[in-house]
């Protein structure tokens, strides 16, 4: 804050572009990312892959707000995902409520649960927080199996195929792709707004050094809770969209760490953890790769594609920390340095 | 009254299992300051190795443990040296790495065994010992006794041996320990190996009493995390007593509440401890705030 009032410091650092310009650039980026929809129309397999890519890009963006910007490594986002999925599916099945109307409710419930479990777990730092959230995820799994009237228990829930806009079930695959694209765009813009707002700076400060942030007057707990609330709301909405697209859910799938909780983090890592567009880039690497592997290795051996994901996770943590986005930035910088050199 | 003692005793025996699986995890936790999410998978792999020794060579698990524990020691050293040592001071990347290991090991075993459940049927898995109040499976009684012995030996090792003194110095302040001429990296390497070897012991002893599946590590790791949080991060006594406590609580919850909710009960303990005493019952104050990073 004080640095701004000191001209010497202020001028030495490049000012970030104006918010409007930044939003403009990101919309342009999203437009480019949306290109596969018209290009792939008619190819139902790849349209499905792109649809899942958009969905997981959005979910990973949501995780990235607290996990990347705020540095709080949550493994429990499967809970918010499942809360969204169950809320929307239950209300649709029992009351015939349109999923569009249950979205705000799912988000609110996701936030409520996020605040409830985060208040104690945010006492922990780093990997300890990760453990606690992993436990949260397991408890979610147990409760989902146990609360049969709500969740359908171990058998899960099945949503009949009744195409229609009000039901959020689409006859054409590209329509679902557009919906997920919209979700991802919201998540990207939300991340950008958080990043540019005071909250974003606070989250980054907490990430960098919690004690220093506290000393500088940042309310650490409130900052984390705010980041977690936004993240959980977006994740719950993603869960709602997921259930209306897949139309069948059961606890092992919703709470699977490699398929849900950790995948959000993996995608963010591959794309560029803590960056605004990183999760989108990461999703475009991981989701198509995974569905290709599933096809190529699925018959060969059970779990073959997951083996590759495990290896990717280990290697990326070791050699590719900055992600696609960070790598691109690095290349651009070294290119610029070479261009400006005499 | 008899039922009460019965539930208490079966809780103690279960607690012995939890204490055994928590010792290695907590050692790695406390000294190397790495949260090994793959510890359950280390145990799982050791269980399958025990099965292989039994199936191919007819070796008893209680003999195989003397091969498997050193084998896991080597495995741990390799993992620490190649994967984790380069990520020192990067706790988030360590989480990714150990989680990647978890996914990798689980699915490699799944691919090899094609997911069939295996069992190591030796005398200990069938024999029943009469403990007066109740009859107990011999395999579980052996685990209880061995775990108590290991915890005692570990405590004595840390307190009285020179190596134990070195390890305690590294726990207290790794920078100061380095200045005193202690090879901190080597200490980490050996302690991680020791933690993996303890997973090996656990795997061999658990093999006779469980049906082996690739996902079985998950059953242990969550309980072990609850134990570690309850007992205090990095404390041997904490891991042991915490393990017994979690076993007893689970046994009572299973009998008097609902077996399906046992994990929810662990979690309530978890939250209660976090709120009341975040460093655990036996932990050094402030460990939970270090976030494994030394500034």
B146 pLDDT higher than 60? yes
Share of chain A above pLDDT 90, in %: 47
The CATH number for A44-340, chosen from 1.20.120, 1.20.1740, 3.10.350, 1.10.3470, is 1.10.3470
What are the chain B neighbours of A323 within 8 Å (beta carbons)? Answer: none
- Residue range B196-217: average pLDDT? 92
CA distance A200 to B129: 62
B201 pLDDT higher than 60? yes
| Interface residue of A317, A320, A321, A322 to substitute, partner B, most B CBs within 10 Å | A317
A252 pLDDT higher than 90? no
Each residue of A270-309: b (16+ CB within 10 Å) or e? bbbbbbbbbbbbbbbbbbeebbebeeebeeeebbbbbbbb
**Contact between chains at B111 and A316 (C-beta distance less than 8 A):** no
Structure-derived torsion over alpha carbons of residues A139, A145, A147, A148, reported in degrees to the nearest 10: 170
What are the chain A neighbours of B83 within 8 Å (beta carbons)? Answer: 314, 318
A111 C-beta neighbours (distance < 10 Å), count: 20
Q: Which pLDDT score is estimated for B129?
A: 81
Contact A22, A195 (CB under 8 A): no
Q: What are phi and psi of B38, to 5 degrees?
A: -90, 5
Which 105-134 residues of chain A touch chain B by CB within 8 A? 120-121, 123-128, 130-132, 134
Mean pLDDT for all residues in chain A = 88
Q: What is the DSSP string of A159-199?
A: -----BTTTTB-SSHHHHHHHHHHHHHHHHHHHHHHHHSHH
Nearest CB to B104: which of A210, A262, A307?
A: A307
B169 touches chain A (CB under 8 A): no
**Contact between chains at A318 and B275 (C-beta distance less than 8 A):** no
A244 C-beta neighbours (distance < 10 Å), count: 22
Going by pLDDT thresholds of 50, 70 and 90, the confidence category of residue A135 is confident
H/E segment holding residue B265: helix B262-276
B37 touches chain A (CB under 8 A): yes
Give B284's DSSP letter. P
- Residue range A138-165: average pLDDT? 87
**Contact between chains at B275 and A123 (C-beta distance less than 8 A):** yes
Nearest CB to B104: which of A142, A273, A311?
A: A311
Contact A126, A73 (CB under 8 A): yes
Helices A19-34 and A173-196 cross at an angle (nearest 10°) of 160
CA distance A305 to B107: 9
Least confident stretch, A303-307, B55-59, B122-126, B285-289: B285-289
At A48-69, the pLDDT tens digits run 999 999 999 999 999 999 999 9
Q: Which pLDDT score is estimated for B52?
A: 94
A5 pLDDT higher than 60? no
Residue B281 to residues B26, B154, B233, B240, B278: CA-CA distances in angstroms? 14, 19, 9, 12, 8
Which residue is it, tokens 């590294």? Answer: B170
* Tokens representing residue A162 in the block: 């009744």
Q: Where are the beta strands (DSSP E) in chain A?
A: 157-158, 248-249
At B250-274, the pLDDT tens digits run 888 888 887 777 777 777 777 777 6
What are the chain A neighbours of B270 within 8 Å (beta carbons)? Answer: 132, 135
B282 pLDDT higher than 80? no
Q: Which pLDDT score is estimated for B286?
A: 52
Instruction: Give the residue on B whose Cα is nearest the Cα of A122.
Output: B274
Nearest CB to B274: which of A71, A124, A258?
A: A124
H/E segment holding residue A79: helix A77-95
Of B242, B205, B15, give the one whose Cα is nearest residue B120: B205
CA distance A228 to A110: 10
At A167-184, the pLDDT tens digits run 888 888 889 999 999 999
CA distance B265 to B259: 10
At B25-58, the pLDDT tens digits run 989 988 888 889 999 999 999 999 999 999 999 8
A41 pLDDT higher than 70? yes
Q: Which pLDDT score is estimated for A13?
A: 58
- Residue range B164-192: average pLDDT? 90
A300 pLDDT higher than 80? no
Contact B205, B65 (CB under 8 A): yes
Q: Which residue has the higher pLDDT, B201 or A4?
A: B201
CA distance B56 to B54: 6
Q: Number of helices (H) and strands (E), helices first, in chain A?
A: 18, 2
Residue B17 to residues B23, B205, B250: CA-CA distances in angstroms? 10, 9, 12
At B74-89, the pLDDT tens digits run 999 999 999 999 988 8
Helices B39-57 and B217-231 cross at an angle (nearest 10°) of 130
A150 touches chain B (CB under 8 A): no
CA distance B36 to B94: 8
Q: Which residue has the higher pLDDT, A47 or B92?
A: A47
Least confident stretch, A13-27, B172-186, B233-247, B271-285: B271-285
């Amino acid at each position: 804050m004080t640095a701004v009032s000191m001209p010497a410091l202020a001028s030495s650092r490049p000012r970030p572009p104006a918010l409007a310009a930044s939003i403009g650039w990101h919309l342009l980026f999203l437009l480019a990312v949306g290109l596969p929809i018209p290009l792939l129309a008619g190819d139902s397999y790849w349209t499905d892959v792109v649809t899942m890519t958009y969905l997981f890009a959005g979910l990973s963006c949501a995780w990235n707000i607290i996990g990347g910007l705020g540095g709080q490594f949550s493994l429990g986002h499967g809970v918010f995902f499942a809360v969204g999925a169950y809320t929307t599916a239950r209300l649709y099945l029992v009351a015939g409520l349109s999923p569009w109307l249950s979205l705000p409710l799912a988000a609110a419930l996701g936030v409520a649960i996020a605040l409830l479990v985060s208040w104690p777990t945010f006492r922990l730092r780093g990997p300890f927080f990760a453990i606690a959230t992993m436990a949260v995820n397991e408890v979610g799994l147990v409760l989902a199996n146990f609360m049969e009237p709500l969740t359908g228990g171990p058998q899960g829930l099945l949503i009949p195929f009744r195409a229609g806009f009000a039901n959020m079930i689409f006859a054409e695959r590209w329509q679902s792709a557009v919906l997920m694209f919209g979700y991802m765009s919201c998540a990207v813009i939300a991340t950008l707004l958080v990043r540019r707002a005071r909250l974003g700076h606070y989250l980054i400060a907490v990430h960098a050094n919690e004690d220093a942030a506290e000393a500088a007057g940042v309310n650490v707990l409130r900052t984390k809770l705010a980041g977690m609330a936004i993240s959980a709301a977006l994740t719950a909405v993603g869960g709602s969209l997921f259930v209306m697209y897949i139309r069948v859910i059961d606890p092992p799938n919703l709470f699977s760490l490699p398929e849900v909780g950790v995948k959000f983090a993996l995608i963010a890592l591959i794309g560029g953890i803590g960056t605004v567009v990183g999760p989108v880039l990461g999703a475009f690497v991981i989701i198509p790769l995974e569905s290709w592997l599933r096809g190529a290795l699925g018959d060969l051996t059970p779990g073959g594609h997951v083996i590759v994901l495990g290896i990717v996770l280990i290697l990326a943590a070791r050699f590719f920390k900055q992600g696609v986005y960070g790598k691109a930035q690095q290349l651009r910088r070294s290119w610029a340095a070479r261009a400006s050199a005499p | 009254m008899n039922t009460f003692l019965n539930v208490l005793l079966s809780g103690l025996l279960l607690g012995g299992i939890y204490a055994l699986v928590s010792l290695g995890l907590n050692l790695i936790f406390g000294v190397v300051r790495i949260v090994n999410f793959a510890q359950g998978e280390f145990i799982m792999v050791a269980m399958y190795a025990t099965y292989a020794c039994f199936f191919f060579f007819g070796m008893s698990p209680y003999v195989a443990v003397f091969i498997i524990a050193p084998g896991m020691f080597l495995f741990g050293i390799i993992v620490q040296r190649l994967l984790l040592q380069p990520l020192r001071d990067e706790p988030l990347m360590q989480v990714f790495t150990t989680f990647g290991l978890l996914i990798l090991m689980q699915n490699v075993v799944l691919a090899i065994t094609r997911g069939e459940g295996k069992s190591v049927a030796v005398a200990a898995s069938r024999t029943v010992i009469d403990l007066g109040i109740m009859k107990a499976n011999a395999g579980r009684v052996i685990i209880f006794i061995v775990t108590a012995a290991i915890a005692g030996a570990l405590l004595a090792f840390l307190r009285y041996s020179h190596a134990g003194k070195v390890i305690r110095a590294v726990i207290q302040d790794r920078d100061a320990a380095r200045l005193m001429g202690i090879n901190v990296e080597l200490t980490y390497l050996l302690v991680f190996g020791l933690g993996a070897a303890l997973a090996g012991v656990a795997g061999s002893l658990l093999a006779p009493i469980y049906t082996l599946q690739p996902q079985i590590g998950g059953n242990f790791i969550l309980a072990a995390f609850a134990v570690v949080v309850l007992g205090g991060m990095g404390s041997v006594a904490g891991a042991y007593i915490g393990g017994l406590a979690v076993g007893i609580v689970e046994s009572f919850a299973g009998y008097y509440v609902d077996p399906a909710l046992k994990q929810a009960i662990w979690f309530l303990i978890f939250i209660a401890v976090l709120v009341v005493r975040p460093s655990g019952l036996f932990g050094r104050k402030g460990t939970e705030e270090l976030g494994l990073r030394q500034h």
